[in-house]
């Protein structure tokens, strides 16, 4: 492609809306443009990268035995009512009506649709296993669309669904997908971890997330360097040593604590350690007050709470002052476990039952109570683990200390079981002629999010540094002075020669200053660079790589193809 003709609207300045590198660089490099919040167009350079990522995903999915098809983005309400997700999916679902007021959604995912597709056509165990996938645009009206392609409201996903006769075969399908994902993310050159995930609204019990490690990631991972345990912060089991507790239960005492509301203020006042406070977190679940008591030095894990309550995350919110007043008869900041209104639900993290002589809110404005003990002074629904993991917690697998890191969830795999086949009545006849529901798995990869993840891992202060196999073009030939005939002739000759070998080549023949062209080529991150300048009459050009721009060498133009071949060989790639 000749850049004089190319639609590549690069920006000189950093766009103010962009908070992370991938978002900033995709906009600056003229690869994407925003239409409205969370909705983007993929411009020519950006779309080439999207297609390359898709192609790697496609090749490995095909190799795994999955078959590609393409379903509609529009799905009728009835399908989702059958699974119970029309309401449960919550406000993330884009809903719409046709001219006859029939209701539809724009698919946020396709479990129901795939199950429905095969249910009338796959009748016998002999037709199983089956694994189908598509690469398609998904719609989710995210609460906080942000970070460019990282969290869009319209985005491209690869989604696959497996159908098996029983649990054991489904686990095989799951492991097969896991292997395919390993091959995909390895080929994409991502540094990633596979971590246990929460299954949430998806159903099923086992899931894993593929996390591209990056400080810009919205996901937090707890992992152990001593064994292979790794889990998302939502999922990670929390084990830690509770500081030594006194054996004696002291007598309960009401203490006047005017205006002391935060744990830090209380620590100053009582002169005891944070861990001896019991923190009350008050939620509103469909109008009902729920008080959760956890150790004062820990944070509550909302996902674990939702799983315990059996609700989706959009059904829970922090209680407002009015609800707090109703159930505690006190202002916010003085909630505790003793003397709550009858209709409030009291939930207690199991660690609280092992701690002694706690300070709790008094359920009376300006009062706390000290020396409170579980069992003697209050009781509630005890849940083993409602806490958010943090660095230094004990690994549930090997007992060593865990670390925390940030990551971008680029893919995940779910063992769904029979949730969808049962609710949609999708059954086959087994070997004994008995009807059985399909045992299913589902497997997603965020294609456009993966593009952003690659940039997060491969960039510097000047721009993107594309790996060779996802770069929009392999090679860029820059002409220093386009008015110079020798330079233009040699550049055109090289350009034609490289294209004819099958390489993807850009020719920067724009009538711009050399500095502008150099900046742009750094910004758009083309891996192999050739500069045609003053030594064109001798057929000498400059050769360099985006990964090490300072290593420039002068070479005869006839040796360029060989140098490029070596680069591909080093990367284990063909062109």
- Two structure tokens written together for 554: 């002068």
Do 193 and 167 meet the contact criterion of CB atoms below 8 Å apart?
Answer: no
Site for ligand ATP in 260-279 (CB under 6 A): none
**Paired residues of 463 in beta bridges:** 460
CA nearest neighbour of 532 among 574, 483, 568? 483
Q: What share of the chain is helix, strand, coil (3-state, %, to 5)?
A: 30, 30, 40
Question: Does residue 24 belong to the site contacting ligand ATP (CB under 6 A)?
Answer: no
CA 558 centroid distance within chain = 46
Question: Does residue 307 belong to the site contacting ligand ATP (CB under 6 A)?
Answer: no
What would the x/- binding string for ligand ATP be over residues 63 to 102, using CB under 6 A?
----------------------------------------
Site for ligand ATP in 398-427 (CB under 6 A): 409-412
Peptide bond connecting 129 to the previous residue in cis, omega within 30 degrees of 0: yes
| CB-closest chain residue to ligand ATP | 446
Stretch that binds ligand ATP, among 253-261, 333-341, 397-405, 445-453 (CB under 6 A): 445-453
Min dist CB 92 to ligand ATP, Å, is 8
User: What is the SS3 assignment for 468-492?
Assistant: CCCCCCCEEEEECCCCCHHHHHHHH
Question: Does residue 444 belong to the site contacting ligand ATP (CB under 6 A)?
Answer: yes
Binding-site member from 64, 75, 109, 531 for ligand ATP (CB under 6 A): 109
Binding-site member from 133, 155, 420, 466 for ligand ATP (CB under 6 A): 155
For ligand ATP, give the closer residue by CB, 349 or 409. Answer: 409
Question: Does residue 142 belong to the site contacting ligand ATP (CB under 6 A)?
Answer: yes
Do 415 and 205 meet the contact criterion of CB atoms below 8 Å apart?
Answer: yes
- For ligand ATP, how many residues bind (rule: CB under 6 A)? 15
Stretch that binds ligand ATP, among 149-157, 287-295, 386-394, 554-562 (CB under 6 A): 149-157
Residues in the chain, how many?
575
Question: Does residue 151 belong to the site contacting ligand ATP (CB under 6 A)?
Answer: yes
**Paired residues of 213 in beta bridges:** 407
- DSSP letter string, 170-196: HHHHHHHHHHHHHHHHHHTT--EEEEE
Min dist CB 474 to ligand ATP, Å, is 27
Question: Does residue 217 belong to the site contacting ligand ATP (CB under 6 A)?
Answer: no
For ligand ATP, give the closer residue by CB, 313 or 492. Answer: 313
For ligand ATP, give the closer residue by CB, 413 or 530. Answer: 413
Contacts of 304 (CB under 8 A, 6+ apart): 234, 383, 385, 386, 387
Q: Which helix (H) or strand (E) holds 437?
A: strand 435-437
Stretch that binds ligand ATP, among 152-160, 249-257, 372-380, 563-571 (CB under 6 A): 152-160
Interacting residues with ligand ATP (CB under 6 A): 109, 140, 142, 151-152, 155, 157, 409-412, 444, 446, 448-449
């Amino acid at each position: 492609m000749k850049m004089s003709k190319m639609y590549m609207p690069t920006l000189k300045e950093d766009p103010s809306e962009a908070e992370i590198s991938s978002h900033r660089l995709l906009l600056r490099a003229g690869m994407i443009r925003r239409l409205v919040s969370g909705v983007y167009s993929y411009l020519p350079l950006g779309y080439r990268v999207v297609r390359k990522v898709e192609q790697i995903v496609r090749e490995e999915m095909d190799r795994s035995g999955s078959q590609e098809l393409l379903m509609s983005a529009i799905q009728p309400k009835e399908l989702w009512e059958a699974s119970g997700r029309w309401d449960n999916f919550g406000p993330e679902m884009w809903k719409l009506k046709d001219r006859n007021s029939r209701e539809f959604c724009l698919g946020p995912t396709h479990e129901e649709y795939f199950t429905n597709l095969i249910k009338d056509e796959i009748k016998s165990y002999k037709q199983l296993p089956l694994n189908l996938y598509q690469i398609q645009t998904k719609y989710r009206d995210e609460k906080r669309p942000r970070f460019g392609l990282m969290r869009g409201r319209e985005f491209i996903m690869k989604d696959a669904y497996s159908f098996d006769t029983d649990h054991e075969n489904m686990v095989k399908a799951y492991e097969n997908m896991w292997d395919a994902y390993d091959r995909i993310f390895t080929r994409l050159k991502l540094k990633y971890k596979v971590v246990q995930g929460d299954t949430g609204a998806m159903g099923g019990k086992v899931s894993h997330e593929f996390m591209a490690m990056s400080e810009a990631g919205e996901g937090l991972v707890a992992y152990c360097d001593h064994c292979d345990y790794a889990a998302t912060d939502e999922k990670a089991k929390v084990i830690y040593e509770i500081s030594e507790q006194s054996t004696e239960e002291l007598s309960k005492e009401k203490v006047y604590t005017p205006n002391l509301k935060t744990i830090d203020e209380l620590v100053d006042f009582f002169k005891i350690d944070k861990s001896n406070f019991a923190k009350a977190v008050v939620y509103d679940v469909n109008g009902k007050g729920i008080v959760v008591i956890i150790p004062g030095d820990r944070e509550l894990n909302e996902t674990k709470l939702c799983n315990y309550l059996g609700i989706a995350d959009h059904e829970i919110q922090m209680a407002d002052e009015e609800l707090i007043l109703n159930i505690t008869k006190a202002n916010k900041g003085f909630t505790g476990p003793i003397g709550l209104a009858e209709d409030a639900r009291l939930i207690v993290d199991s660690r609280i039952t092992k701690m002694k002589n706690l300070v709790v809110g008094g359920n009376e404005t300006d009062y706390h109570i000290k020396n409170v003990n579980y069992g003697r002074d209050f009781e509630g629904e005890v849940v083993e683990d409602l806490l958010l993991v943090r660095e230094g917690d004990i690994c549930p697998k090997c007992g060593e200390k865990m670390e925390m890191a940030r990551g971008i969830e680029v893919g995940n795999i779910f063992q769904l079981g029979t949730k969808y086949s049962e609710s949609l009545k999708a059954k086959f006849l087994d070997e004994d002629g008995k009807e059985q529901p399909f045992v299913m798995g589902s497997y997603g990869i965020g294609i456009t999010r993966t593009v952003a993840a690659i940039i997060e891992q491969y960039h510097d202060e000047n721009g993107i540094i594309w790996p060779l196999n996802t770069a929009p073009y392999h090679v860029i030939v820059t002409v220093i002075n386009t008015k110079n005939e020798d330079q233009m002739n040699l550049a055109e000759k090289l350009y034609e020669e490289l294209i004819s070998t099958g390489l993807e080549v850009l020719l920067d023949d724009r009538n711009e200053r050399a500095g502008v062209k150099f900046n742009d080529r750094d910004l758009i991150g083309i891996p192999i660079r050739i500069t045609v300048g003053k030594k064109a009459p001798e057929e000498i050009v400059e050769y360099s790589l985006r990964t090490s721009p300072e290593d420039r060498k002068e070479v005869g133009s006839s040796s360029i193809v060989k140098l490029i071949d070596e680069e591909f060989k080093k990367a284990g790639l063909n062109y």
